[in-house]
Chain A
Amino acid sequence: GDSVTQMEGPVTLSEEAFLTINCTYTATGYPSLFWYVQYPGEGLQLLLKATKADDKGSNKGFEATYRKETTSFHLEKGSVQVSDSAVYFCALSDGGNKLVFGAGTILRVKS
Protein backbone atom coordinates (compact mmCIF):
# COMPACT_ATOMS: atom_id res chain seq x y z
CA GLY A 1 0.00 0.00 0.00
CA ASP A 2 0.87 3.67 -0.08
CA SER A 3 3.43 4.89 2.44
CA VAL A 4 5.40 7.97 3.44
CA THR A 5 8.87 7.99 4.95
CA GLN A 6 10.30 11.02 6.72
CA MET A 7 13.70 11.66 8.17
CA GLU A 8 13.88 10.94 11.85
CA GLY A 9 14.22 13.77 14.24
CA PRO A 10 14.56 15.70 16.26
CA VAL A 11 16.21 18.23 14.03
CA THR A 12 17.86 20.98 16.04
CA LEU A 13 18.93 24.18 14.31
CA SER A 14 20.04 27.64 15.26
CA GLU A 15 17.90 30.59 14.24
CA GLU A 16 18.44 31.66 10.60
CA ALA A 17 19.83 28.26 9.63
CA PHE A 18 18.71 26.45 6.46
CA LEU A 19 16.17 23.69 6.94
CA THR A 20 15.61 20.53 4.95
CA ILE A 21 13.28 17.76 6.07
CA ASN A 22 13.36 14.81 3.72
CA CYS A 23 10.20 13.01 2.64
CA THR A 24 9.85 10.17 0.18
CA TYR A 25 6.74 8.28 -0.75
CA THR A 26 5.51 5.06 -2.29
CA ALA A 27 2.25 5.12 -4.18
CA THR A 28 0.66 3.19 -6.98
CA GLY A 29 -0.94 6.16 -8.68
CA TYR A 30 -0.26 9.88 -8.84
CA PRO A 31 -0.91 11.18 -5.36
CA SER A 32 -1.23 14.69 -4.06
CA LEU A 33 1.42 15.54 -1.51
CA PHE A 34 1.11 17.65 1.61
CA TRP A 35 3.11 19.05 4.48
CA TYR A 36 1.27 19.61 7.73
CA VAL A 37 2.65 21.36 10.82
CA GLN A 38 1.64 20.73 14.42
CA TYR A 39 2.61 23.35 16.96
CA PRO A 40 2.86 22.32 20.61
CA GLY A 41 -0.58 21.56 22.05
CA GLU A 42 -2.39 22.22 18.79
CA GLY A 43 -3.87 20.24 15.93
CA LEU A 44 -2.43 19.90 12.45
CA GLN A 45 -2.39 22.80 10.05
CA LEU A 46 -1.92 22.48 6.33
CA LEU A 47 1.40 24.12 5.49
CA LEU A 48 1.59 23.51 1.75
CA LYS A 49 0.64 21.07 -0.93
CA ALA A 50 1.37 20.00 -4.49
CA THR A 51 -0.95 18.03 -6.70
CA LYS A 52 1.20 17.01 -9.65
CA ALA A 53 4.78 16.40 -10.69
CA ASP A 54 7.08 19.43 -10.67
CA ASP A 55 4.56 21.53 -8.77
CA LYS A 56 6.08 23.61 -6.00
CA GLY A 57 4.05 24.29 -2.90
CA SER A 58 5.04 27.26 -0.77
CA ASN A 59 3.82 29.06 2.33
CA LYS A 60 5.36 31.15 5.12
CA GLY A 61 8.83 30.81 3.60
CA PHE A 62 8.59 27.03 3.38
CA GLU A 63 8.59 25.27 0.05
CA ALA A 64 8.57 21.75 -1.34
CA THR A 65 8.71 20.46 -4.90
CA TYR A 66 6.89 17.34 -6.08
CA ARG A 67 9.62 15.19 -7.65
CA LYS A 68 8.12 12.20 -9.39
CA GLU A 69 11.45 10.82 -10.59
CA THR A 70 12.78 10.56 -7.05
CA THR A 71 9.34 10.13 -5.40
CA SER A 72 10.23 12.91 -3.00
CA PHE A 73 8.69 16.02 -1.50
CA HIS A 74 11.40 17.52 0.69
CA LEU A 75 10.51 20.52 2.84
CA GLU A 76 12.89 23.48 2.83
CA LYS A 77 13.17 26.89 4.42
CA GLY A 78 16.01 29.30 3.91
CA SER A 79 16.08 30.83 7.39
CA VAL A 80 14.24 29.25 10.30
CA GLN A 81 12.89 31.09 13.31
CA VAL A 82 12.27 29.95 16.87
CA SER A 83 8.55 30.12 16.10
CA ASP A 84 9.00 27.38 13.48
CA SER A 85 9.63 24.85 16.25
CA ALA A 86 6.95 22.22 15.73
CA VAL A 87 6.33 18.74 14.39
CA TYR A 88 6.18 18.49 10.61
CA PHE A 89 4.24 15.74 8.87
CA CYS A 90 4.53 14.75 5.25
CA ALA A 91 1.43 13.12 3.82
CA LEU A 92 -0.06 11.86 0.61
CA SER A 93 -3.55 11.41 -0.74
CA ASP A 94 -4.43 9.19 -3.64
CA GLY A 95 -7.51 11.23 -4.39
CA GLY A 96 -9.70 9.00 -2.30
CA ASN A 97 -10.58 9.55 1.29
CA LYS A 98 -7.39 8.67 3.02
CA LEU A 99 -4.41 10.73 4.01
CA VAL A 100 -1.34 8.63 4.66
CA PHE A 101 1.05 10.32 7.07
CA GLY A 102 4.72 9.97 7.72
CA ALA A 103 5.90 9.54 11.28
CA GLY A 104 6.54 13.24 11.76
CA THR A 105 9.77 15.16 12.31
CA ILE A 106 10.32 17.30 15.37
CA LEU A 107 12.04 20.59 14.60
CA ARG A 108 13.65 22.57 17.40
CA VAL A 109 15.04 26.00 16.63
CA LYS A 110 17.17 27.67 19.26
CA SER A 111 17.94 31.36 19.49
Chain B
Amino acid sequence: GAVVSQHPSRVICKSGTSVKIECRSLDFQATTMFWYRQFPKKSLMLMATSNEGSKATYEQGVEKDKFLINHASLTLSTLTVTSAHPEDSSFYICSAREAGVETQYFGPGTRLLVL
Protein backbone atom coordinates (compact mmCIF):
# COMPACT_ATOMS: atom_id res chain seq x y z
CA GLY B 1 0.00 0.00 0.00
CA ALA B 2 0.85 3.66 -0.10
CA VAL B 3 3.44 4.59 2.50
CA VAL B 4 4.28 8.05 3.75
CA SER B 5 7.20 8.68 6.07
CA GLN B 6 8.10 11.66 8.21
CA HIS B 7 11.40 12.67 9.69
CA PRO B 8 12.17 13.28 12.44
CA SER B 9 9.57 11.48 14.53
CA ARG B 10 10.21 13.83 17.41
CA VAL B 11 12.32 16.91 17.91
CA ILE B 12 13.11 19.18 20.81
CA CYS B 13 14.44 22.64 20.06
CA LYS B 14 15.12 25.91 21.81
CA SER B 15 12.85 28.88 21.44
CA GLY B 16 13.89 31.07 18.51
CA THR B 17 15.43 28.33 16.41
CA SER B 18 14.01 26.84 13.20
CA VAL B 19 13.02 23.24 12.69
CA LYS B 20 12.54 21.39 9.40
CA ILE B 21 10.22 18.39 9.09
CA GLU B 22 10.35 16.14 6.02
CA CYS B 23 7.47 14.23 4.52
CA ARG B 24 8.14 11.58 1.88
CA SER B 25 5.90 9.38 -0.22
CA LEU B 26 7.82 6.12 -0.54
CA ASP B 27 6.01 4.19 -3.24
CA PHE B 28 3.91 6.67 -5.16
CA GLN B 29 4.13 10.12 -6.67
CA ALA B 30 2.46 12.65 -4.43
CA THR B 31 1.19 15.48 -6.58
CA THR B 32 -0.46 17.00 -3.53
CA MET B 33 0.73 17.01 0.06
CA PHE B 34 -1.03 18.34 3.11
CA TRP B 35 0.24 19.51 6.47
CA TYR B 36 -1.89 19.18 9.58
CA ARG B 37 -1.45 20.15 13.17
CA GLN B 38 -2.96 18.09 15.94
CA PHE B 39 -3.40 19.48 19.42
CA PRO B 40 -3.63 17.15 22.43
CA LYS B 41 -6.96 15.33 22.49
CA LYS B 42 -8.19 17.37 19.56
CA SER B 43 -8.75 16.72 15.90
CA LEU B 44 -6.47 17.50 13.01
CA MET B 45 -6.44 21.00 11.65
CA LEU B 46 -5.33 21.52 8.07
CA MET B 47 -2.53 24.06 7.91
CA ALA B 48 -1.72 24.13 4.21
CA THR B 49 -1.95 22.29 0.93
CA SER B 50 0.97 22.06 -1.45
CA ASN B 51 1.09 20.94 -5.04
CA GLU B 52 4.40 19.85 -6.49
CA GLY B 53 6.22 22.78 -8.00
CA SER B 54 3.73 25.38 -6.78
CA LYS B 55 3.43 27.64 -3.79
CA ALA B 56 1.51 26.23 -0.87
CA THR B 57 -2.03 27.34 -0.11
CA TYR B 58 -2.42 28.19 3.55
CA GLU B 59 -5.57 27.94 5.61
CA GLN B 60 -6.96 31.01 7.24
CA GLY B 61 -5.08 31.94 10.38
CA VAL B 62 -1.89 30.05 9.50
CA GLU B 63 1.15 32.31 9.17
CA LYS B 64 2.87 31.51 5.91
CA ASP B 65 6.08 33.25 6.97
CA LYS B 66 6.26 31.15 10.10
CA PHE B 67 5.38 27.79 8.58
CA LEU B 68 7.37 27.53 5.37
CA ILE B 69 6.33 24.73 3.05
CA ASN B 70 8.32 23.46 0.11
CA HIS B 71 7.16 20.74 -2.28
CA ALA B 72 10.02 20.58 -4.73
CA SER B 73 9.56 17.00 -5.93
CA LEU B 74 6.83 14.41 -6.32
CA THR B 75 8.07 12.51 -3.29
CA LEU B 76 9.16 15.17 -0.82
CA SER B 77 7.60 18.08 1.00
CA THR B 78 9.14 19.97 3.90
CA LEU B 79 7.63 22.09 6.64
CA THR B 80 9.97 24.54 8.36
CA VAL B 81 8.81 26.10 11.60
CA THR B 82 10.77 29.35 11.77
CA SER B 83 11.65 31.10 15.01
CA ALA B 84 9.82 28.47 16.98
CA HIS B 85 8.11 29.34 20.24
CA PRO B 86 6.66 27.10 22.96
CA GLU B 87 3.15 27.61 21.58
CA ASP B 88 4.31 25.92 18.36
CA SER B 89 4.79 22.69 20.29
CA SER B 90 2.43 20.20 18.73
CA PHE B 91 2.07 17.05 16.67
CA TYR B 92 2.56 17.80 12.97
CA ILE B 93 1.22 15.32 10.47
CA CYS B 94 1.59 15.26 6.71
CA SER B 95 -0.46 13.40 4.18
CA ALA B 96 0.00 12.77 0.49
CA ARG B 97 -2.22 12.08 -2.45
CA GLU B 98 -1.67 10.89 -6.01
CA ALA B 99 -3.17 12.69 -8.95
CA GLY B 100 -6.71 11.52 -9.61
CA VAL B 101 -6.95 9.61 -6.33
CA GLU B 102 -9.10 10.99 -3.55
CA THR B 103 -7.62 9.06 -0.63
CA GLN B 104 -4.95 10.78 1.43
CA TYR B 105 -2.24 8.65 3.06
CA PHE B 106 -0.83 9.93 6.30
CA GLY B 107 2.63 10.00 7.73
CA PRO B 108 3.29 8.87 11.32
CA GLY B 109 3.63 12.43 12.55
CA THR B 110 6.36 14.54 14.13
CA ARG B 111 6.15 15.64 17.73
CA LEU B 112 7.72 19.05 18.19
CA LEU B 113 8.58 20.39 21.61
CA VAL B 114 9.89 23.92 21.85
CA LEU B 115 11.56 24.80 25.12
CB distance from A38 to the nearest CB of B (A): 9
B35 within 8 A of A: no
Give the number of chain A interface residues (Cβ < 8 Å).
20
- Number of A-B contacts defined by CB within 8 Å: 44
A 28-67 binary contact with B (CB < 8 Å = 1; else 0): 0000101010000011111001010000000000000000
Q: Verify B93–A43 contact, CB threshold 8 A.
A: yes
Q: Verify A103–B109 contact, CB threshold 8 A.
A: no
Q: Verify B42–A103 contact, CB threshold 8 A.
A: yes
Q: Verify A42–B43 contact, CB threshold 8 A.
A: no
- Which of the residues B44, B46, B49 comes within 8 Å of A89, measured between beta carbons? B44
- Nearest neighbor of A46 in chain B, beta-carbon distance: B103
- Nearest neighbor of A6 in chain B, beta-carbon distance: B43
B77 within 8 A of A: no
- Nearest neighbor of A95 in chain B, beta-carbon distance: B102
B 82-115 binary contact with A (CB < 8 Å = 1; else 0): 0000000000010100000011111111000000
Q: Verify B49–A43 contact, CB threshold 8 A.
A: no
B75 within 8 A of A: no
Task: Give chain B's interface residues, CB within 8 Å of chain A.
Answer: 4, 6, 32, 34, 41-44, 46, 49, 93, 95, 102-109
